[in-house]
Structure 1
Amino acid sequence: MAEKLVVTFNAGSSSLRCGIFRQSEAGPVQVRNFHIRGLPDEMVLTEKDLVAGTQTETELGTPTSADSAHPEALAHMLARLDEVSGLGTIVAFSHRIVHGGADYLAPILIDDDVLAQLKTLEPLAPSHQPHNLRPIRQVQEHYPGIPQIGCFDTAFHRTQPRHAQIFGLPRALTEDGILRYGFHGLSYDYIAHKLERSYPDLAAKRIIVAQLGRGVSMCALKNGQSIATTMGLTALDGLPMGVRCGALDPGVVLHLIMDRGHSPEEVRDMLYERSGLLGVSGISGEMNDLLASDRTEAAEAVDYFVYQCGRNFGSLAAALGGVDGVVLTGGMGEHIPDLRARLVNELAWLGADLDESANRDGGPYLTTSQSRLPVLMLPTDEERVLARRAYDLLASDVGRDYMRA
């Protein structure tokens, strides 16, 4: 019998990731991985065969235009999927979708009505949502009849108490969906399950997870569920990021528009594309670049980032009523030991004692055995969550009914 495969898509502004998974007794196992990076300029495809343990890299060239970059990248990806069709039968495509709003609290089968509603949320996630949704139509046309499933970053945070979700705004706006939704939910979902499987002594306790990628947020977990998070209605809130501002006095936005004459579009571009580490440093939005620089502006941007992380660790510890462990994940958390060391030292007041050797070696524990607060580095895997959620949905009554229709 042919393997029943789930294909995952994780589409961003500068990259497109695709994974092929088969089901096993231990859960989804990835057999192939494709990653196109460099959008919208020079495209490079990296393909990994996880069974054979091989990796190839192919230069795809420059897109015809900036507007056509993402459709062209997806066309390359679909062509590769066609070439490896002998691996098994694709039974579903599972897409990461950043914003699910108030209505989508769990993975869902995508139809035209769902897609239309998700497009109305694009203004709340302009750097992500259009890219997340774009592959759905193209995949639908290339592989008609195969279920497409949406998995939402916002859904993981719906376990938060209502007082953690609302803003201090007129009640009518709250009832109309102006809420603190939070993001990076697929990553937090993976870490929560990883703790349950591999660190059961921590899984049921009070944990702060720091998702340290180009987008940055933190989440307070209690018994594996989200209690509080740093992001809000949009992915601008909370910690400073590569090019996004993080938490900002709303009066600054009013001042820029009403007193300094900036248009709303100019302010949106500034906050989403020209702020954060890039804005503070004036050099780069990449932490490695800033750590390697000898310029005072770079050092100031790093200090600002570490300081804000320290403040937010304290805020989430208060929301949890204490903290029993911290997990660092995401690209910066996984690959930049110097940053990890500074963040662990920010947690010294909570009992964290850095193990310099373990930190250099990548953990998983970054703290000494005498440390009152354990700090771990755990790589995340959003694609595995996409696959697991898709297999679960297909096995449910909803999935079985869809497949019979």
Structure 2
Amino acid sequence: MDRTRADEIRRKYHFRWDILDVIVGGKSAVDFTTGFHITKHEDADRFVRSYGYDLDNPIERAEVFGYFHESLNFIRKHFLFPENQDGFNLEIPKRILELVDIRELFLMASLKLFNPPNEAQGIQLRNWACAILKVMHTIAHIDQDIRTTYFADIQTQIFDRYYKVIHRDSDGQLYLGEREDDQFRVDLVKFETKPKKSRNSTLIKLLHKPENVAEDIFDRVGVRFVTKSRLDAMLVIKYLKDSMIVLPPNIKPSRSRNTLIDVDDFRAQLSELLSRAERGDIDESTLMTRLDAAAHAPLVSQDNPHTSEHYRALQFTCRQLIKLRNPLYSDLKELKTMVRSRNLDDDIQKKIERIDLKYLQKEVRFFYPYEIQVMDQKSYEENERGRSAHSEYKRAQLQTAMRRVLGVLADGVR
């Protein structure tokens, strides 16, 4: 086989194994350590265009450059000392700060601005360029999530389902139920709704996890029930299901977590205790005492590495169909009606008549995920003050995001 043919065959069967790991192996592009293979500005143009942005369009070019500057500010604020006291003692290279052509960032990430390509400065620039591109990628997914525009309406529709069945009785006791004398009501210690995440908080959450797209944040909207006992926590779940506030088909199974109650043991004891109560072997007071004891904590290990094993809660993600009226549809329909009854310039009238409402959605509909947490008061207090405190959880997330984004830049530096 001659050299030319051998080279052709080698090129045909040359795989970038790191890329293949992303496509079919479940790895994340944010964990790349080998950089890009872009050799010239035209390659960078083609990559960005395939991604979805046209750098020849001044508006889109400015948008991408805005992502670049936001990424620089984000990295400085959250990953680097002194703005983050736990951050890395690093400085973004001046050459990157002075960039005016975003395509050069891709060339830096490919070691194509320096000759020879393995010199220390070139490798350092490649590592920084890759880190910045990871953050830019994440920002782009946040900005292009169409649901963000409707966030306030989404919150309202989801929370309204719950506010309708959250009340206080005449003694001021908070409860879940239709009315004060509802036989299935469950007394509550707290009912909380989650405030909107800040943009930077969303960025950190996305950067710390392999599923690095905005659609995969399931707890932007959330509710929390705090009950007097673990047994009451189970009754909250039952009430939500029985009243069809939560529908089992709309649960996302992979997001369900239970560190509060050993359900298998509770189910076995419940069946036995109810049978004994029906036979008259135990009275109602004894039944309730033993049911309370049966709702004990399980021995589990958490799948989320940033959630302490001491965090006790029933957690699951539900999806709700959101329905939003499109105001543009009504406005254009009204405008077309007005035009027919008035003498307007022929050109204006023809242009308005050409507007076909069938190309507009009268109503925007989509399913939106939200998280539900249920826990008893003791677990809530332990969660708040213990090793699972939210600040520690966030700190662990940030540390993971820092190391994933900065990669080898972070090795041996503090």
Using structure 2 for the length normalisation, give the TM-score: 0.22
Larger Rg: 2
Structure with greater strand share of residues: 1
Using structure 1 for the length normalisation, give the TM-score: 0.22
Structure with greater helix share of residues: 2
